[in-house]
C-alpha cells in the first residue's frame, strides 16, 4: 500500500526503537539488522546500495556489488556541471578536507552552499527518483505567493475528495473556515495532503496547479522533475532528484513566509466548533521534521532553518534540510537511504551538514546550483564593457536570503538595464556626430567587441546563479 504519511513511514518499517542520541549515535545490533532485512524485503524488490565511499570515482568493488542493487544511469543531466551527471560520489578534496561520513546509504544526496551556489559534494545528484512529500516545496514555491496569509477560505467537500489512500492529513473539516496561514502550517508541519488539496483548489484546481508546478520547475531549471500530483503522493512517472529538490528549497527560502512555516516546530491549528459553546476549538500540531523538533530521540540540529521531509512506500524516506552557520547556509538533500534505523534519513542529513560546514574552503566545488532561466543573460552582447553585477538581494549579508523576497536575484536584470542604457548612449552620439565618425566607431566596435563580453561563465561572489549562465542549453528530458 502506498502511504504519504511522513509521521509513520519510517517508524513502521524497521521495528527499531527510537534513537537515544544525536545524528552520530547509531545502535545497529544484530537483532536490529535482522529486522531490517525483513523490512527491506517487504519494501523493495532488492536491497539498496552499500555506503558510498568518499572517492572521486566508484571503486571496482562498489561497481561489482551494485549489480545486485538499484543502479543509477550511466549518464544523467549535467545541469550545474559535468561531474553532477556522472554516477557515484563526486568530491574534490583539498588540503585539510574532512573525510565524508561513513555508512552513507542514500541512493542520492547532495551538499550545497546556498550562499554561493557551490555544490561541495554529491552522489547521483541527478538520479530521478520518487520525491514523496519533499515535492511540497515546489508546491509552496508555486502557490504560496498567490494568497495573502490572512485570507479566509471555507472548505467544501469537493476540495477534500480524491486524496490518495493513507495520505498524511492535518485534520481539515469541510464547511469550516481556515486562514491561508493555517493551511500552510498544515502543509509544512504535518505534511497534510488535505491542506495541499484545499490550496490547490483555491489556485484553480489540481490539474491547473500541477501544470503551474511543472512550469515553475522548468523555470528553475529543475529538468529532472516531472509533476503528477501536487502533494508528492506516489503516482506513475512522478520523479525528481536531489539536485532539483535543493533548487526548490533554495528558491523557497528566499520567501519570508516559506522560511517562517518550514522553521515552525509547533503551532495551534483550528479544530471543530463546540456544539454547546459554538466556539472554535484548536489543537496543537508538531512539525514532522525530526531534525528540527528533536522527536524520536533526535537532537535538534543547531541552526536548522527547515525545510521538508517525506515518506512514501515507493520513495522511502526523503529529506531536504538547510542550516546556517558562520554566514553560510548549507542545504543537504538525501533520498531513499536504507531503512536501518527509523531516523536514518535525518542521521545522514545531519552528518552531511556537519561535514559540509567543516569542508567549506577545503574542497573544490564539483558543480553549482543554477539560477532560474528568466535570469540568464539573453546574449553576451547585452553585457556592457565594464558593468558588473553586485550581490543579489538574497545573498546580501551572507546569512540567509532576503526577507519577503520571492525573486531569486537581480544581477541579470542589472546587466540588461545597463546594456540598454549603453546602447542608447551610443545611439545619441551617432546622431550628434558626423556620419564618417559614426561609421568608424561602429566598425571599430564590430571588429573588437565589448571588452569582457565573453566572460560570462562565472558570476560575482554571492550571486544566486553561480555559473548558471553556462547551462543555457536545455537538455532533452525523458519522463518516466
3-state SS of 257-314 is: HHHHHHCCCEEEEEEEECCCCCCEEEEEEECCCHHHHCHHHCCCCCCEEEEEEEEECC
Active site residue 191: yes
Q: How many CB atoms neighbour CB 301 within 10 A?
A: 21
For residue 279, the model assigns a pLDDT of 95
How does strand 316-325 pair with strand 304-312?
Answer: antiparallel
Q: How many CB atoms neighbour CB 444 within 10 A?
A: 9
For residue 376, the model assigns a pLDDT of 80
For residue 84, the model assigns a pLDDT of 98
SS3 label, residue 327: coil
- CA dist 48 and 53 (Å) reads 15
For residue 69, the model assigns a pLDDT of 74
How does strand 367-368 pair with strand 328-335?
Answer: unpaired
SS3 label, residue 450: coil
Ordered per-residue pLDDT tens for the chain, 480 residues: 455 545 444 433 333 333 333 444 443 433 343 343 344 443 333 333 333 333 333 333 333 333 357 899 999 999 999 999 999 999 999 999 999 999 999 999 999 999 999 999 999 999 999 999 999 999 999 999 999 999 999 999 999 999 999 999 999 999 999 999 999 999 999 999 999 999 999 999 999 999 999 999 999 999 999 999 999 999 999 999 999 999 999 999 999 999 999 999 999 999 999 999 999 999 999 999 999 999 999 999 999 999 999 999 889 999 999 999 999 999 999 999 999 999 999 999 999 999 999 999 999 999 999 999 998 866 444 333 333 333 333 333 322 223 233 333 333 333 333 333 333 333 333 333 334 443 443 343 333 333 333 222 233 322 222 233 333 333 333 333
**Under a CB-based contact definition with an 8 Å cutoff, are residues 104 and 52 in contact?**
yes
The single residue of 77, 108, 136, 368 carrying the catalytic annotation is: 136
- CA dist 231 and 435 (Å) reads 63
The single residue of 77, 112, 133, 168 carrying the catalytic annotation is: 133
Active site residue 136: yes
**Under a CB-based contact definition with an 8 Å cutoff, are residues 444 and 374 in contact?**
no
Contacts of 6 (CB under 8 A, 6+ apart): 132, 133, 168, 191, 288, 309, 310, 311
For residue 276, the model assigns a pLDDT of 93
The single residue of 77, 108, 112, 191 carrying the catalytic annotation is: 191
Residue environment code for 351-367, b if the CB has 16+ CB neighbours within 10 A, otherwise e:
bbbbbbbebbeebebbb
For residue 314, the model assigns a pLDDT of 86
For residue 397, the model assigns a pLDDT of 30
Amino acid at each position: 500500500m502506498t502511504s504519504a504519511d511522513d509521521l509513520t513511514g519510517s517508524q513502521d518499517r524497521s521495528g527499531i526503537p527510537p534513537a537515544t542520541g544525536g545524528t552520530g549515535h547509531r545502535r545497529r545490533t544484530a537483532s536490529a539488522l535482522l529486522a531490517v532485512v525483513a523490512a527491506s524485503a517487504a519494501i523493495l524488490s532488492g536491497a539498496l546500495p552499500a555506503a558510498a565511499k568518499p572517492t572521486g570515482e566508484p571503486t571496482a568493488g562498489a561497481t561489482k556489488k551494485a549489480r545486485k542493487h538499484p543502479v543509477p544511469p550511466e549518464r544523467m543531466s549535467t545541469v550545474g556541471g559535468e561531474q553532477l551527471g556522472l554516477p557515484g560520489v563526486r568530491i574534490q578534496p583539498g588540503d585539510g578536507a574532512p573525510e565524508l561520513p561513513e555508512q552513507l546509504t542514500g541512493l542520492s544526496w547532495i551538499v550545497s552552499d546556498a550562499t554561493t551556489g557551490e555544490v561541495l559534494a554529491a552522489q547521483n545528484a541527478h538520479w530521478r527518483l520518487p520525491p514523496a512529500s519533499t515535492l511540497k516545496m515546489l508546491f509552496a514555491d508555486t502557490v504560496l505567493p498567490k494568497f495573502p496569509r490572512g485570507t479566509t477560505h471555507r472548505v467544501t467537500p469537493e476540495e477534500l475528495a480524491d486524496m490518495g489512500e493513507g495520505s498524511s492529513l492535518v485534520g481539515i473539516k469541510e464547511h469550516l473556515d481556515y486562514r491561508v496561514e493555517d493551511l500552510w502550517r498544515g502543509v509544512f508541519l504535518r505534511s497534510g495532503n488535505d491542506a495541499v488539496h484545499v490550496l490547490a483548489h483555491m489556485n484553480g484546481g489540481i490539474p491547473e496547479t500541477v501544470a503551474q508546478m511543472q512550469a515553475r520547475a522548468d523555470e528553475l531549471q529543475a529538468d529532472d522533475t516531472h509533476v503528477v500530483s501536487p502533494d508528492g503522493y506516489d503516482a506513475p512517472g512522478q520523479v525528481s532528484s536531489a539536485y532539483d529538490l535543493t533548487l526548490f528549497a533554495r528558491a523557497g527560502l528566499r520567501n519570508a513566509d516559506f522560511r517562517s512555516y518550514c522553521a515552525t516546530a509547533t503551532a495551534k491549528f483550528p479544530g471543530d466548533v463546540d456544539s454547546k459553546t459554538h466556539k472554535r476549538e484548536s489543537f496543537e500540531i508538531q512539525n514532522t521534521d525530526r531534525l528540527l523538533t528533536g522527536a524520536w530521540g533526535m537532537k535538534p540540529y543547531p541552526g536548522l532553518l527547515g525545510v521538508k521531509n517525506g515518506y512514501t512506500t515507493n520513495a522511502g524516506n526523503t529529506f531536504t534540510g538547510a542550516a546556517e552557520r558562520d554566514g553560510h547556509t548549507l542545504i543537504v538533500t538525501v533520498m531513499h537511504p536504507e531503512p536501518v534505523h527509523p531516523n536514518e534519513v535525518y542521521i545522514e542529513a545531519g552528518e552531511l551538514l556537519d561535514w559540509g560546514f567543516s569542508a567549506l574552503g577545503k574542497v573544490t566545488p564539483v558543480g553549482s546550483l543554477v539560477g532560474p532561466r528568466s535570469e540568464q543573460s539573453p546574449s553576451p552582447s547585452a553585457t556592457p564593457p565594464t558593468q558588473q553585477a553586485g550581490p543579489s538581494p538574497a545573498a546580501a549579508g551572507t546569512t540567509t536570503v532576503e526577507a519577503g523576497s520571492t525573486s531569486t536575484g537581480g544581477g541579470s536584470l542589472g546587466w540588461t538595464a545597463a546594456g540598454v542604457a549603453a546602447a542608447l548612449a551610443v545611439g545619441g552620439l551617432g546622431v550628434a556626430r558626423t556620419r564618417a565618425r559614426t561609421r568608424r566607431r561602429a566598425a571599430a566596435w564590430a571588429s573588437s567587441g565589448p571588452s569582457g563580453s565573453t566572460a560570462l561563465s562565472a558570476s560575482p561572489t554571492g550571486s544566486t546563479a553561480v555559473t548558471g549562465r553556462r547551462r543555457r542549453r536545455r537538455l532533452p528530458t525523458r519522463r518516466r
